[in-house]
Structure 1
Amino acid sequence: MSGPKVVTVKTRAQLRAECLRRLRQVERAAELWLERVEALGEADESVRAAMAERITALRAMSDESGFGDGALSGERSAKYARQVAAMHRAADEELAFLREDLAERELRLVERAADAKTTRRRRREHRKQLLQALSAQTSDAATALAERVRAAGEGDGLDAMLGEGFAWLSRNADTATGTEAGLSDAQRELAEALKSGEAQQSFDQWRAAQTEAERDPRLHRLDRHVAELELLAGEAVAAPFLARIESLEREPDRVRRNLLLDSLLLDLGEACRADAQWRRQRAELELQIADAVAVLDPAVVAELRDAFEAAVAARNPARIAALQARIEAMITEEVEAHAARSCRQAVLEALAGLGYEVHEGMETAWAEDGRLALRKTATPGYGVELGGRAADGRMQMRAVTFDRQRDRGRDRDIETLWCTDYRQLEQHLHHTGGSVRIERALEVGEVPLKEIGAESASTPRDAVAPRERNR
């Protein structure tokens, strides 16, 4: 048994509201995920069906219709609590899955696009090398072949054209002039082998002749950053960097070109990081708006949506962050106010059923004053004091006396009786689908029974258990 105590109360109405909020968050996250997957060209009927199935299962977990609106027995109360906990776990898992799945899809597509860019870059390099080699030849056949190489597109047809050009060069070029023709030592050796029949002529061998030193790894990082911006941020964001790449490729000075490449890589890396942060902020804000729909007035939500669209249009991270903080504060304030009201009403209703004098307006008085004292009809001169506004469900409860001239020998008995009442209050909250947990408690008789003035107690009017008001 315990005397004065601090408890945390959570009502069924709170649990229901939390489940609905989580469900709306997941539903909105699923909508955004599907929109993005479709934009990436990754959605098909199986993807949509799997998503719909998971959302349906989550809705079923948040459906409490099978428990009815009345009291819950001990077993059904425990089952209800397990269902609520399972729903929250499932919601967390679904949100994590959506984030990870989208990130994996985006990464796969970015890598694919980067590889394609690297392939196109190397094709251009190979064409340039082949044209340099052909320009050293004086025959009409070499000139005609060079024209065909210049006219070739960027696709697989270019590979075939380059293969044909290299094969011709290996058969007809003078290896003695290989260096002047723009061939590396490895390429000249391969050309000699091809001429003597020691190897099969192929463009794959031409590409294999390129050393790792010639394949600057920075170029692939460059392609990857650009692919990421084009795919995830949009072509408008990537356009200035593409212009810088074109300028870089035209730079004749090797030293300056390397400096420009290093600078460009730094700027691209920072742009990718900034865009990733921007997309995270925007996604988080989207879910906050969904949360606001479940909590705030529709007119307020409409105003927040307008502010969101303006911040997104301006692509302003600072405005997004400020709006996030504003919405979070508004949601927290409203949720805490509703939770506190629900807790106060539930406790007063339970105490009214235990014989304490509860009257209309007491919940409001408790909220305004931060404490409330209730008389108990069966023990004149004694009652219970409720402290704290229950903003987070926390409140203090203790037996009190309104009579300074009492028989103090009864004080310990009164505290013991209050312990019995508290256990019944716990049972009432559990039977209605709520919960109560003791955070701190003193032993019976550890401190003197608190004395408060009789004017602070509830006055005997028509006892009406408070009801939760519509918000």
Structure 2
Amino acid sequence: MSSSVHRISVREMNEIQCRRQLAVTRKMFQQWQKMANTTQYHRPRIEQIFTLFQQLSANDISTISARQLTTLKNELTQFSATLKQEIQTVREQQLEQRALAARTNAHRQHNLEALAALVREKLPAEKQLITELESRDVKGVGSLIFRALTALDNVQSQLSPFANQLLEQLKAQSEDVPQFWQYGAPLSPYAKQCEQILLMIEKLKLVGYLNEALSAQQQLAEIQSMNENPQRHLRADSLILILAKQLKESQQHTELVEKVEQLCAELAIFSDDENAKIIDEALASIHSSSVTGLMSLAEQLEAKINLAEQAFVAEAQRRTVLDGLGKLGYQIQETDVRAWMDNGKVVVRHPATPGYGLELGGKQARFQTRTVALSSQRDTQRDKDVDAIWCSQHQQLQEFVAQSDAELVVERALPAGSNEMKVYDLEDAGQQRNTATNQQPRTLRK
């Protein structure tokens, strides 16, 4: 054949994708560990996830086959999806529990204040008890309430229904009821709105949205100062929607921060001073960046990673082809890979066919080969013979490529002698070999 189009897949393509997924999994595992250490997480589940991570990360990616790499990548992807789901679920549960604990504590403090006032009014002689109640120390609150209730038993007949409701509520609280409402009375729809708002404000504080929480508190105070009317309910509903949007944004911000950290771990695979600088700048800015800024940063990192991967795979593809041609006896130089990468083509020669060469061109997984003459002053009768020689060599090239755990496929080809052979000036061919720069190709961090 005089000209042909080939498609090559190399092991390095599977390897780099597997390394990228492993980098993501490692970073996600660190994020999961941080979360698991700050909550009441099931010990058997921690051990299970840790063991699975150890098994997956113990594989020597540099030695396993392309097929095994694909399997490992799929397993890592599934494991990462599991970690992501657990992180989201537990984080939401933890936020809900912490916010509810804050609201419960606020109720407790409010009730202790009311109890202290009641003891002051009915039992002014109990100065020690009053002092302890006014300190509102959470530690030992159960025994403190029990002492107050015991002391008030003697005057219970003098208490108002309101005060008795308070005592009943505090008694329930002292028995470790995790959630209770002020005075134990059923909540009105408006009171439920206010409590929901207060719970959401606590969540905003916990996720670091302090300015938003302060603004919401001010708006709630304005709403509570209004008289009972439909407008008050509408404003409360509107505030709830605003808070829900802010909480969703905070969750998105957290997830984007983690995504940027994962992308930085992927980019770090490609050992490059420029990449190292990009990573440092990204990690230094993520916590102070807005959601929009993080989304833009993630897109930039993804683009950088894809370009680096494409360059790495393209270089591996060209090196595999040229190594195979070298085994066929073609004169291959160290600079040929870089010349092909930089110029989109390179010409190699074989001692058995002086005056002729093989041009390889293309920058993607598909590339074209065609025989070329290195001088217009030649016996053109030999052109078809040179085409035929290349045809006979091609199957051997496929075998050599397969030995590298790669695959070379001919997508289309022209028969020997079917086209007039391109004349490739010998001087131009020399230039092709000398265009390789001193720039070192990107290396893959193991």
Q: What is the TM-score with the length of structure 2 in the denominator?
A: 0.70
The answer to whether residue 80 in structure 2 is matched with residue 106 in structure 1 is: no
- Equivalent in the alignment of 1:32: 31
Matches within 5 A, 1:403-442: 406-407=380-381, 410=384, 414=387, 418-437=390-409, 441-442=411-412
**Alignment of 1:97 onto 2:75:** no
Measured at CA, do residues 311 and 469 of structure 1 come closer, stay the same or move farther in structure 2, by a change above 3 Å? closer
1:369 aligns with 2:343: yes
**Residue 32 of structure 1 aligns to which amino acid in structure 2?**
Q
1:387-414: per-residue Cα shift (whole Å, max 9, x none)?
Answer: 1134xx3322345566786349947x93
Cα contact 2:3–2:413 (8 A) shared by 1:
yes
Deviations 1:413-434 (A, max 9, x none): 936x545533332322221233
Work out the CA distance in 1 between the residues paired with 2:243 and 2:283.
Answer: 27
- Structure 1 position 20, deviation (Å): 3.2
Change in 2 beyond 3 A, CA 1:127/1:53 = closer
May I ask how many residue pairs the two structures share in their alignment? 414
- Match for 2:57: what amino acid? R
Q: 1:264 aligns with which of 228, 232, 239?
A: 239
d(CA) in 2 for partners of 1:447, 1:128: 101
Taking the aligned partners of 1:171 and 1:159, their CA distance within structure 2 comes to 19
Note if contact 2:371-2:421 (Cα within 8 Å) is conserved in structure 1.
no
Partner of 1:193: none
How far 1:153 moved relative to its partner? Answer: 8.5
Paired residue type of 2:22: L
Change (3 A) 1:442 1:162: farther
Q: Contact between 2:223 and 2:235, CA under 8 Å: does it hold in 1?
A: no
1:289-438 to structure 2, matched below 5 A, reads 289-297=264-272, 299-378=273-352, 383-390=357-364, 393-400=365-372, 406-407=380-381, 410=384, 414=387, 418-437=390-409
Distance 1:360 1:450 in 2: 31
| Offset at residue 300 of structure 1 (A) | 3.6
Determine if contact 2:18/2:72 at 8 Å carries over to the other structure: yes
Secondary structure in 2 aligned to 1:254? coil
Instruction: Decide which of 55, 71, 78 is 1:86's aligned counterpart.
Output: 71
Matched residue SS, 1:432: coil
1:246 deviates by: 6.0
- Map of 1:253 onto structure 2: 227
Which stretch of the first structure deviates more once superposed, 262-271 or 442-451?
Answer: 442-451
Query: In the alignment, is the contact (CA less than 8 A) between 1:226 and 1:241 conserved in 2?
Result: no
Letter of the 1:279 counterpart:
T
In the alignment, which residue of structure 2 is the partner of 1:71? none
Once the two structures are superposed, residues 146-195 of structure 1 have per-residue CA deviations (whole angstroms, 9 ceiling, x without a partner) of: x99x978897789989999xx99998899xxx9xx899xxx9xxxxxxxx
2:254 matches 1:279: yes
* One-letter amino acid matched to 2:18: C
Q: CA deviation at 1:385?
A: 2.6
- Give yes or no for contact 1:22–1:88 (8 Å, CA) kept in 2: yes
Deviation at 1:222, TM superposition (A): 2.5
The structural deviation recorded for 1:4 is 1.9
RMSD of aligned residue pairs (Cα, Å): 5.0
Structure 1 residues 207 and 271, CA gap change in structure 2 (3 angstroms): closer
C-alpha separation in 1, matches of 2:215 and 2:355: 81
Secondary structure, counterpart of 2:248 in structure 1: helix
CA 322–235 in structure 1, closer or farther in 2 if over 3 Å, else same: closer
- CA deviation digits over 1:118-147, x for unaligned, max 9? 6678889999999xxx9xxxxx97999xx9
On the 8 A contact 2:327/2:400 being kept in 1, the answer is no
Match of 1:453 in 2: 423
How far off its partner does 1:262 sit?
2.7
**Counterpart Cα distance in 1 of 2:52 and 2:241:** 42
Aligned partners of 1:453 and 1:112: how far apart in 2?
77
Contact 1:400 1:449 in 2 (8 A): no
Give the 3-state SS of the residue equivalent to 1:258 in structure 2. Answer: helix
- Counterpart Cα distance in 2 of 1:260 and 1:431: 72
Give, in whole Å, the separation in 2 of the partners of 1:44 and 1:169.
48
8 Å contact kept, 1:384–1:398: yes
Tell me the equivalent position of 1:74.
none
Displacement after TM superposition at 1:332 (Å): 3.3
- C-alpha distance in 1, partners of 2:399/2:208? 58
Give the 5 Å matches for 1:37-76: 37-38=36-37, 40-42=38-40, 49-65=47-63
Over 3 Å counting, the alpha-carbon distance change for 1:3 and 1:454 in structure 2 is closer
Shift of 1:381: 6.2
Q: Which residue of 2 aligns with 1:194?
A: none
For structure 1, list consecutive stretches of 5 or more residues without a partner in the other structure: 68-79, 135-139, 188-201, 463-467
Q: Could you tell me how far 1:101 is from its partner in structure 2? A: 0.6
Q: Relative to 1, partners in 2 of residues 1:46 and 1:13: Cα closer, same or farther, differing over 3 Å? A: same
CA separation of 1:469 and 1:300: change in aligned 2, threshold 3 A: closer
Deviation at 1:63, TM superposition (A): 3.8
Write the letter of the residue equivalent to 1:240.
L
Give the % identical residues. 20
TM-score, length of structure 1 as denominator length:
0.67
Give how far 1:219 is off: 4.2
Greater Cα offset, 322-331 or 153-162: 153-162
Partner of 1:230: 205
**Aligned partners of 2:357 and 2:41: how far apart in 1?**
64
Q: 1:450 to 1:48 in 2, by over 3 A?
A: farther
Q: Report the CA distance shift for 1:274/1:6 in structure 2 as closer, same or farther (over 3 A).
A: same
- Three-state SS of the structure 1 residue aligned to 2:39 is coil
Query: Residues 27, 127 of structure 1: CA spacing in aligned structure 2 closer, same or farther, 3 A cutoff?
Result: closer
* Structure 2 CA distance for aligned equivalents of residues 52 and 307 of structure 1: 31
Q: CA deviation at 1:30?
A: 1.4
Distance 1:276 1:158, change over 3 A: farther
Unaligned 5+ runs, structure 2:
166-171, 434-439
